Amino acid sequence: MVSTAARFLFLFDFDETLIDENSDNSVVRAAPFQTLPVSLSNSQRPRFFLEHSQKIMTFLNESGVTEEAVRDAIERIPASPGVAALLHFLSARDDFECVVVSDANSYFIETWLRHAGARGLFAEVFTNPAEFNRDGRLVLRPYHAHSCPECPENMCKQLILRDYASKRAKEQGEPFQKIFYIGDGQNDVCPTLALGLNDTVFPRRGFPMHRIIQDLQRTQPGVYRPSVVPWERGQDVVDFLKTIL
């Protein structure tokens, strides 16, 4: 829920951040033989992830996979190590406003958060809209259109971050004192380029986001402005937050 006293904004990615898997891969467990055809597995194109996700959902529907089976597969996804401790820490405070920014979809994220008992922590979930149609197929729609050349065609997380932080600053009468961002993937780098020296980024250690940031810091010193605190467990983030708050 939105807190009128929030001083800090905390943005979460979903796949391989809140959860310890890629939800598109997880839902394949509901498929016959728990696998995709080779032609479908090899059809993904860079920057067109949503298109590939829709192909997966169409395949599952044509294979007789029901909404109940999809929901069960999503609810079974484990949280990333220590994420429960991080969510518990944040929920015990009233000075953090938390949102999800993910290129997954609303059905997967809302289903998982509700099952985990964590939906109430998040003021907003920014993701691709999704709902089951009359034929029982999960239909995905792009979140928005944008002109960023670095991001998937359906979502630029930096645009979402900027717009949300600006909107909330107007509503609260002042900007957030600090912004925190936790993620793992390549598309989590773009939003963090909008952050400043007072902000902190938590890239999952050894994942693409971490490697890209390390390359930026090495090849373009000073360009990447926020503090960087790699994490392996959610407790790593909690420990850091306790030292600065």
Residue of 39, 19, 36, 38 lying closest to 28 (CA atoms): 36
CATH 3.40.50.1000 domain range(s) in the chain: 8-20+78-244
Instruction: Report CA dihedral (234, 239, 240, 242) to the nearest 10 degrees.
Output: 130
pLDDT at 35: 87
Binding site residue list for substrate: 24, 103
Residue partners of 111: CB distance under 8 A and separation at least 6: 71, 74, 75
Instruction: Report CA dihedral (140, 18, 205, 129) to the nearest 10 degrees.
Output: 20
Nearest 5 degrees, angle CA 94-CA 105-CA 136?
A: 130
pLDDT at 86: 98
Bigger pLDDT: 1 vs 90: 90
**Is 13 noted as a catalytic residue in this protein?**
yes
Residue from 15, 188, 199, 236 carrying the catalytic annotation: 15
Residue 4 has pLDDT above 60, yes or no: no
Residue partners of 77: CB distance under 8 A and separation at least 6: 19, 20, 21, 23, 26, 112
pLDDT in tens, 125-176: 999 999 999 999 999 999 999 999 999 999 999 999 999 999 999 999 999 9
Mean pLDDT of the chain: 95
Residue from 13, 188, 199, 236 carrying the catalytic annotation: 13
CATH of domain 8-20+78-244: 3.40.50.1000
pLDDT at 13: 98
What average pLDDT does this structure show over 36-64? 87
Report the helix count and the strand count for the chain, using DSSP H and E: 10, 8
Whether the full predicted model's pTM is greater than 0.75, yes or no, is: yes
pLDDT at 71: 98
DSSP 106: H
Give the three-class secondary structure for 60: helix
**Is 95 noted as a catalytic residue in this protein?**
no
